[in-house]
Structure 1
Amino acid sequence: MNPRYPFALGLALLLSWLLLGGCTTDDAPSSPAPKNKSATAVGPAPAKRPTNRMPQLELPQDPALRTGKLRNGLRYAVYPNKQPEGRASLRLIVRAGSLHETDEQRGLAHFLEHMAFAGSTHYPPGKLVEFFRRMGMRVGADTNALTGFDRTMYMLELPNTDAETLAEAFQVFGDYAGGLLLLDEEIERERAVVLSEKRERDSSLYRAKAADLEFILGGSLVPKRLPIGEESVIRSAGREQLLDFWNTWYRPERMMIVAVGDFDAKKVESQIRKTFAPLKARAPARPEPDLGELPNPDVTRAYYYYDAEAPATSVRITNILPYNLDLHAEVKGLLSEDSAPNRMMDLVIDVAFEMFNRRLAVLAQKEGAPFLAAQVSRKDEFNFYRQATIEISTQGEQWREALAVADQELRRVRDHGFLPEEFAEVLAEFKTAIEAMGRGAANRQSGRIANQIAQALHDGKVITHPHFDYGLLKPSLDQIPLELCQRFLQMLFGRPPGLGEGFFVSVMGNALIEEEGKSPTEVILEVGRAASQVPVEPLGEREAVEWAYTDWGEPGTVVSDERVADLDLRLVRFANGVRLNFKKTDFEPGLVRVWLRVGEGRIALPVELPGLNTLADLTFNSAGLGKHSVEELNRLFAGVSGGALFRVRDDAFILQGQSFPKDLRMYFQSLTAQLVDPGWRPEALRQAHRVAQNMYLHFQHTPEGPLTAEVTRILSGGDPRFALPEESVLLSRTMEELRDWLGPQLAHGPLEVSVIGDFDPEALLAIVAETLGALPARAQKRDFTAELAKITFPEKPFNETYRIQTQIDKGEVRVYWPTRGAGDHRHSHLLFALASIFEERLRAQVREKMGASYSPSVQSNRGEATPNFGYIEAGCTVDPRQARQVQDLIVQIGDELARNGVKKEELNRIRKVKLNDARQLQRNNMYWLTTVLAQAQENPETLNPVRTLRSDIESISVEELSELARTYLGAARASRVLVLPEGKE
């Protein structure tokens, strides 16, 4: 059961526009933000030019935000925030991206972003990474950058906020802005890295998206400026070209600094001014790029893109509108005139789109539905165009039916609107999301706030406090006219009824369209026109539904209640054997997280029925309950927070979810129902088959295929319970087989439920007593140690090469070394530290020196409960022609660690990173829930790691790690895997 689909989508939509506001741009340094200084609306913009227009409507800026603009034009925003404690998130935004390139510069905005890390005034080549490591920062996680169409953003996550660290971090940004060296030898080295990133991004999906962008915006600059760039430019560009782009566009008036964290805001503001005031432009300014022309909205167009490697087909109906279309004028008299009409307009549109998406989700569940998933979406880009799209994912042979559904459901909504009950349900969802936003305001994480402010600064909008948003938006929900939702959809998807009058219709993927005497696009248009002639009726009224799981009988009796004082948690056991572990925290105000472990998991899978575990993962969340379908659950849970994701693990089945305190009773009623009365519905099996078929199609042409289907089988010693079966085997599994296997374990198996967050402990205890505690007696022990011990890594190293049929020119390299499995937590700390050191060396050799891969990685994997099964895995995406060379190098690096051990400075760097992480884990609900509470009664030893977390890390020695490397990483123990395109090596 997954009743929270609407909630998840609604919350995402809300946050996308509520919090991605903007900021004032005062000409003088700021004190705390003046009231009503700036506003949200950006007036009509020239269609050919993206602008960063000043807000014009009055909204109150968050009073904690300090903003200003230096005389050189650079803007900044400083926001004090204590989550997480002792840390800070910094951003440097440059309003220049791939759209600002010339034809000869395609890819240089992104190339230049790479070069910012390759030598500058204060950090010669190699020294910047040394600074990051000295601070205990992870390269790639705590320091990163991104390049988009209209911006480049550099990011730093600082592990502490002392004056020296902040000063040096701003100095790093200062060098990005005005001190790059752009040395020829570094350009040559980084060129290979950029090409490796381009190769790694290449995929069937990426190519389809690029083709679709060309189709709908081919007359504009946008599809001709994909940020990754052109290979020919990347291969040939030299210092002068990079210098020209940097000098032209990295200008102070195009830059913004964002600082959010646990610091003194005044001092940080002063440091920003000191660092960036001397910054000057190095070249004359150039005009903004001409984005070209939008397509003629009166002309119908169809597009066909065939890719035999695609796992599915995407059918899309898209409408493009000019950005400067005045939507407010179109609904004059229906939208109340208050201080924030743009936000109100977005709210109405998001409500309309959510209602539409709920309809499509219901249709996907119907028997005979010709598609797997569908959604409507919208976006406004570059102050240039507005886009509204309905997209349906289907199997290739069903593209005609899918197109008919897209057309007819779009017309049904445009012509007949929504039902009042649909409207009420979605409004309830949005109210719940807004309330959650208000409650969580005090616990917002600095990194997220920094990204929101960065977006706002770029877009010229106001950052308001979540409490203001709550006060503005919640009462506004009750004032939205239902007809206004329909009106906005009509505008965004075009007024003319039916296909063929201004839409872009595309069929992209593995649908083979061949009809004698006709082009594929002619066939698409014919199918669309025929679909548009079918009359559509309003959606029929729905029967009322009442929640059926309110009474579970006599509440259970508590027979044990232990308080663990040093960890401030309670361990409770009911008479029926249900174990309850809980801890009250203030880490996430207004949120409660739940982790339920039941039964024996994957290890209990009958060997003669391979694939049942995969079928369980694919069906359980979409099968509803015995007395309620998923559609009914969506309606019943409208405005109620909750839901649980089901997963099969090695030694248990997991239901993981979250709720709000006010909804805990109904939430636990639903959890209980999932255990004793799952739906086992045929529609879930139908959907699972379609997902599986797409998955196996994807596997035929991508490295994930052999790595998932073949290598996992080898790694687990050939045990079918730990490997993905062949497609025909999986598709032969039935819902009856799944019910017979999984049902008894859910209903009678050992059960331990853990709860953490913001709740009343006694109220929680009473709720669990009347739900899970009221069930019949359950099994207490899970005795499968001997079975788990059978799962072992192969005795002898293996060497496998797999070939896949693909036009994507990239290969995958993997090397595996067997280690120990679950058990000693200190041993796990040592393995993770060794893997981190290995990854540093791998990155230095394969990425920085060879340029052979963009993101090589090393990780320690251990079975969740298998004592003899674990391994270290190293790998990367490479040019197929370099695959064996890189694989040999990986083995060599591991063998070097085995022979000569680790170095003290390597350990010191890793220790700093892990101590920084440990500090944050102490206030992380998910860490407490999954690592500490989850098995606190079944396995009390799991309480110890949190007690010794810091000391375990601090006590790691060079000798221990070197011994571990000698034990595990020798070349003779390495198993090798290559996945290469057919015919390329």
Structure 2
Amino acid sequence: MPNFSAMRRIACLTLAVPTALLAQTRASAPKAQAPRDSFALTAPLPADPAVKMGTLPNGIAYYIRKNAKPEKRAELRLVVNAGSILEDDDQRGLAHFVEHMAFNGTKSFAKNDIVKYLESIGVRFGADLNAYTSFDETVYILPVPTDSAGILDKSFRFLGDVASGVLFDSTEVVAERGVVLSEWRNGLGAGERLRDKQFPVIFKGSRYAERLPIGKPAILEGANPGPMRRFWRDWYRPDLMAVIAVGDADPAEVERLIRRTFAPIPPRTTKRARTLATVPPHDSTLVSIATDKELTSSSVGVLWKRPGRVARTVGDLRADLLDRLYNTMINQRFSELALKPETPFAGAGAGSGGFVRGSEFNSLDANAKEGKLLESLQALLTEAERVQRHGFLASELDRARTNLLRAYERAYTERDKTPSGAFVSAYIGHFLQGEAMPGIAFEYAAVQKLLPTVTVAEVNALAQARSGAANRVVTVTLPEKEGLRVPTEAEVRAVFGTVLAANIAPYAETVAEGALVASPPSPGRVVNERTIPAHNITEWTLANGVRVLVKPTDFNADQIQMTGWSPGGASMVSDQDVFKTSLTPVVIAQGGVGSFSTIDLRKKLTGKVAQVQPSIADLSEGVSGGASPRDLETLLQLTYLRLTAPRADSTVFKATMQQFETVLKNKDANPAAVFSDTVQVTLAGGHPRVRPLTLDMLQELKLDDMLAIYKERFSDAGDFTFVFVGNIDLAVLKPLAEQWLGSLPSSGRKETPRDVGPKQFTGTIDKQVRKGIAPQSQTALLLAGVGPWSREEAYVLSSLGELLEMRLLDRLRESLGGTYSVNVSTGFSRRPRQEWQVVISYGSAPEKADTMFAAVQQELDSLRRVPPTAAEVERVREQQRRELEVARKQNGYWVGAIRSRAENGDPLDAIGGEEQQFASLTPETLAAAAKRYLHEANRARFVLLPEKP
């Protein structure tokens, strides 16, 4: 089943598709109008006054916005209104290849010079510096610091080169073929094969069916500069480009740099027409039925195509609100159905949006239980038909409207805390399609006026656009396996008639009454209080033993994050029960809390922003969640209920087990799943606590047993610690903590986690896994050992991993062209044993797996023998320093830092000190670390290869 909402995300990276909500023309409401007329349905959506827009004489557009979140950073983009849809027949895949070549040599930067420069100022290649190519556009992404002279100038110079000075050196083109082919290879598998069967149906008669951005391997294998340069010359031209700069920089200086860099680019006197591809309408339903031997589940989708809409007026904004309300309400019904064992699907949903330029969709999708495809299609259509015949209830609309308004309210509250990257997609959409960008202040004011005027009848009327045979496509996918019958097209079509002829009753609901906590407990009290001035942390000890750590921040206006834990976890249960323990939090949380089922709880929390979820890890159990400051008490109440009033729901339990079965029945058809399980079991050496979940193991699960495990782990809060970080008023939180945390039951239990898990592997392991039919390979290489842990040593190991990743990316990708990406991760455990690991993973062509491994070994040997250069070490340090600058202004960083210190018994005033660690990192320290950690005394190599050589 295609993910319709992501069809524009097919090339390199995720494409943030602009929504109609943000669409905008350049026009502003006339100043003479009265304010009330600004929200008339015919009124144009105004331009956000915070954005400076302009067009250079050569046709290049620009967008500039000053925004100080994060500080000392800017998000730069070069947007090219050209993608794979414009390729000639001999250029299939070369629009994307051009994007790669922009990083392989321009008139101002030799191969990879821009990558190395940006890495030297703290920008990671891939994670930060990147680009993507879609059907209709190509976007270059540069997030850069702004606090050093020359960085913006050099960054704009690179983007200017992309627009006017890519070299297309033939040697570099040949070298890059392997990288692009590796990216193509990464996309192979069941999803790719199903897409190739479905797209000709979904895009019937459209050029979109034959212009996937990744292109044709035959063309990529023989790619040469000629056709590539022709694409760049035809489509990388000023009238098709825009520059976007959002961040903590002087707008006047940014505009000066843009003009100086881009204005000299000459306009084109001869231009190929930039035509727009279309998706032709059709009167009847199209059906695609596809199977694949590696598919792990069955799915069915119904798609109604429609012409694309560009919002220009307040009325257009209102129409978008109606769409969102409809989808919210019907999705709520689908989620309720998924909690019933008799429902034929494990999950379902409705959506709307755009998937290619000028074409949008409404959709219904379901993940069917095995053998229940036609029944799932009938259930989807029945619910849609129920809305069409009987409509939604007024109570459903009230809840959806309240939650949508609250979402806008939160966005408005955070308007001065919004990260720069969040603005970029709106400006891209404005340039490419004229999509609105009125800004949150106007949108929130408009929504406050518009939402109360929406009626149930109006939302119900939208059901007409989600019915009928015209422009309808049905997609059916299922595993290719013995005994699983494939439905015929006639059977699929017959379901529509069955639903239309059926007697469908109106939707009915019940809403649970009463307070979230029926009988509030007697509050406890704070018996000890102290502060850690260095980090503005307050510590309370409650009479029941609960410890509370609080750090107020102003990083976000409408956010509080919370985590709570106690030592013990799964280590305290028997070997045979450990897998039950890992599933227990999910199963019990699905039942709701107290007297409220999951469905009732969702309704009860309408308009509130608060959620808490339980978890049981190896060494601890706990809860995590967050809330808006105004819903802080609800956060504490939910925490109290999660610990004291778990709700075991036998009906939901049965439905949840069926959902697990749907996932597990064909899991072993997935090569990645088989590979992962093999790595896990092999490294554990057959330890009984490491068992991949199977259908047979599901039969051992009993709800009463899981509830008993849950209560045993959570019923005694005496050794719990809670951390709260965010926009917190201590005077407000303290009595709430006394009421809801101070009243938690406690017997004074103090647990110490047991060391019961598998030991670190030793020796040499070489294992091949033959699974899958695609010509692709995946390698996981592990180095391991034991040694004394220290925070400094863990930091050095992590830094060594970063250096190694840089080296391997340069060797395996840039020099050998053998892979698209390399990942190196490190870990140094402190509890229950002091052990370390280095994990290296990468993909390649199957026939190159051994060659790539030999290259990795050579790089390991090189780092052991020769110290890294000072420049390499500086690149590592600068990236760490820049990331820390941003992280320290985020609540999540402090939640993690405080928990790490508190959980390990370290002093809280010792948080920080990273700058001293950075300063201590030298070529000599990394060279010594390479000798300690990059040896192969304990080495495991796992290689996933196709079934047939």
Q: Is 1:445 paired with 2:419?
A: yes
Post-superposition shift, 1:963? 1.7
Partner residue in 1 for 2:597 = 629
Counterpart contact for 2:200–2:209, Cα < 8 Å: yes
- Structure 1 segment 331-730 matched on structure 2, within 5 A: 340-382=314-356, 384-491=358-465, 493-494=466-467, 496=468, 503-510=472-479, 520-616=488-584, 618-696=586-664, 699-716=667-684, 718-730=686-698
Post-superposition shift, 1:741? 1.9
Sort the Cα spacing of 1:741 and 1:557 in 2 relative to 1 into closer, same or farther, 3 A. same
Post-superposition shift, 1:608? 1.9
Q: Is 1:130 paired with 2:97?
A: no
Equivalent-residue separation in structure 2 for 1:961 and 1:36 (angstroms): 67
Post-superposition shift, 1:945? 5.5
Counterpart contact for 2:341–2:658, Cα < 8 Å: no
> What one-letter code is carried by the residue in structure 1 that aligns with 2:764?
P
> What one-letter code is carried by the residue in structure 1 that aligns with 2:814?
E
Match of 1:792 among 759, 774, 777: 759
Match of 1:953 among 906, 914, 918: 918
Q: Deviations over 1:628-661 (max 9, x none)?
A: 1111011101111111233332321232221111
Post-superposition shift, 1:107? 0.9
Counterpart contact for 1:855–1:876, Cα < 8 Å: yes
Question: Which deviates more from structure 2 when the two are superposed, residues 255-264 or residues 678-687?
Answer: 678-687
Q: Deviations over 1:504-525 (max 9, x none)?
A: 2221122779999x98212222
Provide the TM-score with structure 2 as the length reference. Answer: 0.93
Q: Deviations over 1:123-174 (max 9, x none)?
A: 0123222212222221112210001111100000112344411010000000
Post-superposition shift, 1:687? 4.3
Equivalent-residue separation in structure 2 for 1:580 and 1:412 (angstroms): 49
Post-superposition shift, 1:738? 1.9
Question: Which deviates more from structure 2 when the two are superposed, residues 625-634 or residues 581-590?
Answer: 625-634
Sort the Cα spacing of 1:605 and 1:725 in 2 relative to 1 into closer, same or farther, 3 A. farther
Partner residue in 1 for 2:83 = 97
Counterpart contact for 1:556–1:769, Cα < 8 Å: yes
Equivalent-residue separation in structure 2 for 1:450 and 1:946 (angstroms): 34
Equivalent-residue separation in structure 2 for 1:813 and 1:80 (angstroms): 44
Partner residue in 1 for 2:866 = 900
Q: Is 1:771 paired with 2:773?
A: no
Equivalent-residue separation in structure 2 for 1:205 and 1:515 (angstroms): 19
Match of 1:189 among 159, 169, 175: 175
Post-superposition shift, 1:59? 2.6
Counterpart contact for 1:216–1:295, Cα < 8 Å: no
Equivalent-residue separation in structure 1 for 2:921 and 2:565 (angstroms): 32
Partner residue in 2 for 1:40 = none
Match of 2:810 among 833, 844, 849: 844
Structure 2: gaps of 5 or more residues = 1-15, 34-40
Counterpart contact for 1:23–1:457, Cα < 8 Å: no
Match of 1:973 among 927, 938, 942: 938
Q: Secondary structure at the match of 2:577?
A: coil
Equivalent-residue separation in structure 2 for 1:208 and 1:833 (angstroms): 41
Question: Which deviates more from structure 2 when the two are superposed, residues 175-184 or residues 743-752?
Answer: 743-752
Post-superposition shift, 1:381? 4.6
Equivalent-residue separation in structure 1 for 2:821 and 2:781 (angstroms): 15
Partner residue in 1 for 2:274 = 288
Post-superposition shift, 1:81? 0.7
Q: Deviations over 1:475-521 (max 9, x none)?
A: 32111111111112322x13x4xxx56632221122779999x9821
Q: Secondary structure at the match of 1:941?
A: coil
Partner residue in 2 for 1:761 = 730
Q: Deviations over 1:434-460 (max 9, x none)?
A: 110011111011122223322332221
Counterpart contact for 2:341–2:652, Cα < 8 Å: no
Equivalent-residue separation in structure 2 for 1:567 and 1:957 (angstroms): 29
Counterpart contact for 1:97–1:147, Cα < 8 Å: yes
Match of 2:720 among 751, 761, 768: 751
Q: Secondary structure at the match of 1:96?
A: coil
Counterpart contact for 1:371–1:392, Cα < 8 Å: yes
Partner residue in 1 for 2:947 = 982
Sort the Cα spacing of 1:589 and 1:821 in 2 relative to 1 into closer, same or farther, 3 A. farther
Q: Deviations over 1:587-606 (max 9, x none)?
A: 01121111121352232232
> What one-letter code is carried by the residue in structure 2 that aligns with 1:955?
S
- Structure 1 segment 23-172 matched on structure 2, within 5 A: 24=26, 58-172=44-158
Partner residue in 2 for 1:11 = none
- How many residues in Structure 1 have an aligned counterpart in Structure 2? 926
Post-superposition shift, 1:430? 0.8
Equivalent-residue separation in structure 2 for 1:373 and 1:981 (angstroms): 31
Q: Deviations over 1:923-944 (max 9, x none)?
A: 1110100222x25545441635
Q: Deviations over 1:682-712 (max 9, x none)?
A: 3443344344334445642334324432322
Equivalent-residue separation in structure 1 for 2:393 and 2:936 (angstroms): 67
> What one-letter code is carried by the residue in structure 1 that aligns with 2:304?
N
Q: Is 1:316 paired with 2:290?
A: no
Equivalent-residue separation in structure 2 for 1:821 and 1:485 (angstroms): 64
Sort the Cα spacing of 1:441 and 1:256 in 2 relative to 1 into closer, same or farther, 3 A. same
Equivalent-residue separation in structure 2 for 1:902 and 1:967 (angstroms): 15
> What one-letter code is carried by the residue in structure 1 that aligns with 2:874?
N
Structure 1: gaps of 5 or more residues = 1-13, 27-32, 38-54, 329-337
- Structure 1 segment 830-979 matched on structure 2, within 5 A: 830-863=796-829, 865-932=831-898, 934=899, 937-941=902-906, 943=908, 946-979=911-944
Q: Secondary structure at the match of 1:597?
A: strand
Equivalent-residue separation in structure 1 for 2:678 and 2:204 (angstroms): 42
Sort the Cα spacing of 1:769 and 1:120 in 2 relative to 1 into closer, same or farther, 3 A. same
Counterpart contact for 2:901–2:911, Cα < 8 Å: no
Sort the Cα spacing of 1:642 and 1:432 in 2 relative to 1 into closer, same or farther, 3 A. same
Equivalent-residue separation in structure 2 for 1:926 and 1:442 (angstroms): 19
Equivalent-residue separation in structure 1 for 2:342 and 2:86 (angstroms): 48
Percent identity, aligned pairs only? 25
Sort the Cα spacing of 1:575 and 1:776 in 2 relative to 1 into closer, same or farther, 3 A. same
Counterpart contact for 2:614–2:642, Cα < 8 Å: no
Counterpart contact for 1:931–1:942, Cα < 8 Å: no
Q: Secondary structure at the match of 1:774?
A: coil
Sort the Cα spacing of 1:383 and 1:971 in 2 relative to 1 into closer, same or farther, 3 A. closer
Counterpart contact for 1:19–1:452, Cα < 8 Å: no
Post-superposition shift, 1:830? 0.9
Counterpart contact for 2:83–2:137, Cα < 8 Å: yes
Q: Secondary structure at the match of 1:441?
A: coil
Q: Secondary structure at the match of 1:583?
A: strand
Equivalent-residue separation in structure 1 for 2:803 and 2:196 (angstroms): 38
Post-superposition shift, 1:180? 0.4
Q: Deviations over 1:933-971 (max 9, x none)?
A: x25545441635633121112212222222221112113
Q: Deviations over 1:906-928 (max 9, x none)?
A: 21110010011111122111010
Counterpart contact for 2:115–2:125, Cα < 8 Å: yes
Equivalent-residue separation in structure 2 for 1:397 and 1:95 (angstroms): 45
Equivalent-residue separation in structure 2 for 1:677 and 1:821 (angstroms): 43
Equivalent-residue separation in structure 1 for 2:420 and 2:277 (angstroms): 35
Provide the TM-score with structure 1 as the length reference. Answer: 0.89
Match of 1:232 among 218, 241, 247: 218
Counterpart contact for 1:610–1:729, Cα < 8 Å: no
